[in-house]
Structure 1
Amino acid sequence: MIGTGTTAVVTGGSSGIGAATAALLARRGCDVVVVGRDAAALSAVAARTGARVCAADLAEPDAAGRVLAEAGAVNLLVCNAGIGWAGPVAGMAPSDVERLVQVNLLGAIRLVRGVLPGMLARGRGHLVLVSSIAGNMHVAGEAVYSATKAGLAAFAASVRGEVAGCGVGVSVVVPGVVDTPFFDRRGVPYERRTPRPVPPERVARALVRAVERNRAEVFVPRWLRFPARLRGAAPVLTDALQRRFG
């Protein structure tokens, strides 16, 4: 799936995880298309990697169609685009709610719907949805963001069941805190001492391994799997521990 002859679309490709993933895929010989709103930043990534540029705002309903029309036949789709918002949900403007859902969740769903028929017809392809540990744990002040990331994981699980045996893989990558411009862009910096942010290149390497090994779910760092599974088994206990030690 990864190498010469593979066309890979990477959303959120202007920085962070997306840019690191684009660079890694390009080094492996893929024809990479980086997608984002910042055309200048995308061009800088393209200059370093040889990727093609597609400037698009995935909150727009027709953006997915335009991206895929420019990309051509897509073998690998990495849905990494995402925005954050921090604060009590009661104080969140309706426009902010809608934009988070549009970019983080609906944008990915539209792209998957766009590429999946071609993948199924060819009998090969891979979908990667970049979620967040916030979609597995309760994170006060990030209710809508967490909901969009949990929605990505649920969507991926259902699609995985639909395409089983058809040659199409579906992977969910679940990063914890990553050293990217994400926190600056949402307007609230990350100030906790632990867990420490991991570099985006580490997430990119885990993402590529997930595709190569057809992994359904990968946590970065791997120890995050434990609290996520604990919350699934004992949500009241896990939430209490988060309030006590978070």
Structure 2
Amino acid sequence: MRWPPRRALITGGSSGIGAALAIELAAAGCEPLLVGRDADRLGALARRTGGRPLRADLTVRDELARVADAAAGVELLINNAGAGWHGPLGAMTAGQISDLVALNLTAPMELTRAAMPELSHRGGQVAFVSSIAAVGVHHEAAYAATKAGLRAFADSIRAEGVPVTTVLPGAVRTGFFDRRGAYTRRFPRPIPPEQVARVLLTAIERETPEVFVPSWLGLASRVRGALPGTFRLLARRFG
């Protein structure tokens, strides 16, 4: 894929990491297609970036299908939309689990499936915003499972002829925590969404398979793979 791409679809494009990605891509000469649920924010960001707003709730089947149709015409698909949930698993309702899986995992899978043939034909790329929670986090079982599933999905489709990049950020200063609940851990310290956007776009340009933000968080993944017992002991102690 030439850089920058001419058209990119960004889910969760009205704020946070998605908005930062749109601004960076627009500055490089790309036309972003911004997908989100907040029509006012989407419109304001579209005017700022020269992009196109597409209001949609990715947990609604018909609206997801409409976004999937739009994804078929882009050179870069960035699956960024996501939500969190914090607390004991038993406190979640079946509906909350279903909605979390639908947004964080099913929607990216469906959009990628729809876009893959055209991305392959155009020499395009696909990217996923996962999370360091993919290694497993106390009181975030369902959320961590969706992000681990997203990481595994990315790894699995990497051999299908389209470059795939996954970013695994730590805590990011966005409205995510307004909805999920306040971030109370002492580390990792929250980072700005612009930092995640820059790292991800550089990784996409270089066709890097996976990046962590900040980079030292990759140690947690390596310890989990090489020393799972040690990882579990540390996780119990530090949450």
- TM bracket (short chain): over 0.9
Query: For the residues of structure 2 that align with 1:5 and 1:93, how far apart are their CA atoms?
Result: 41
Amino acid at match of 2:189: R
Alignment-derived partner of residue 154 in structure 2? 156
1:175 is the counterpart of 2:169: yes
Alignment CA distance shift 1:189-1:119 (3 Å): same
Q: 1:26–1:49: 8 Å Cα contact kept in structure 2?
A: yes
| Pair 65,4 (structure 1): closer, same or farther in 2 beyond 3 Å | same
TM-score by length of 2: 0.95
Equivalent AA in structure 2 for residue 142 of structure 1? E
CA distance in 2, matches of 1:72, 1:148: 24
1:157-202 Cα deviation digits (max 9, x unpaired) = 1100222xxxx2101110011011101112x100222211010000
Normalising by the residue count of structure 1, what TM-score does the alignment of the two structures yield? 0.93
User: Which residue matches 2:235?
Assistant: 242
* 173 and 45 in structure 1: CA distance in 2 versus 1, 3 angstrom threshold: same
Asked if structure 1 preserves the Cα contact closer than 8 Å seen for 2:8 and 2:32, the reply is: yes
Alignment-mate amino acid for residue 45 of structure 2:
V
What secondary structure, in the 3-state scheme, does the structure 1 residue paired with 2:160 have? helix
SS at match of 2:163: strand
Contact 2:8 2:75 in 1 (8 A): yes
Shift of 1:147: 0.4
CA deviations 1:1-22 (Å, max 9, x no partner) are: 4656621000001111000001
Unaligned runs of 5+ in 2: none
CA-based RMSD = 1.4
8 A Cα contact 1:65 1:114, kept in partner: no
Task: Measure, in 1, the Cα distance between the counterparts of 2:2 and 2:48.
Answer: 19
Structure 2 counterpart of 1:96: 96
- 1:188-203 equivalences under 5 Å are 188-203=181-196
CA contact (8 A) 1:2 1:28 kept: no
Partners of 2:88 and 2:185 in 1: CA distance: 18
1:135 maps to what in 2? 134
1:50 corresponds in structure 2 to 50
Residue of structure 1 in register with 2:143 after alignment? 145
Answer yes or no: is the 8 Å Cα contact 1:54–1:70 preserved in 2. no
* Equivalent-residue separation in structure 2 for 1:5 and 1:216 (angstroms): 18
2:210 equivalent to 1:220: no
Is the aligned partner of 1:35 residue 2:13?
no
Instruction: Give, in whole Å, the separation in 2 of the partners of 1:121 and 1:195.
Output: 40
Identity in percent: 51
Deviation of residue 68 (structure 1)?
4.0
Superposition pairs for residues 68-147 of structure 1, below 5 Å? Answer: 68-70=68-70, 73-122=73-122, 124-136=123-135, 138-147=136-145
* CA positional deviation for 1:90: 1.3
Which runs of no fewer than 5 residues in structure 1 stay unpaired? none
Question: Conserved in 1, the CA contact under 8 Å of 2:69 and 2:114?
Answer: no
Structure 1 residues 161, 3: CA separation in 2 closer, same or farther (over 3 Å shift)? closer
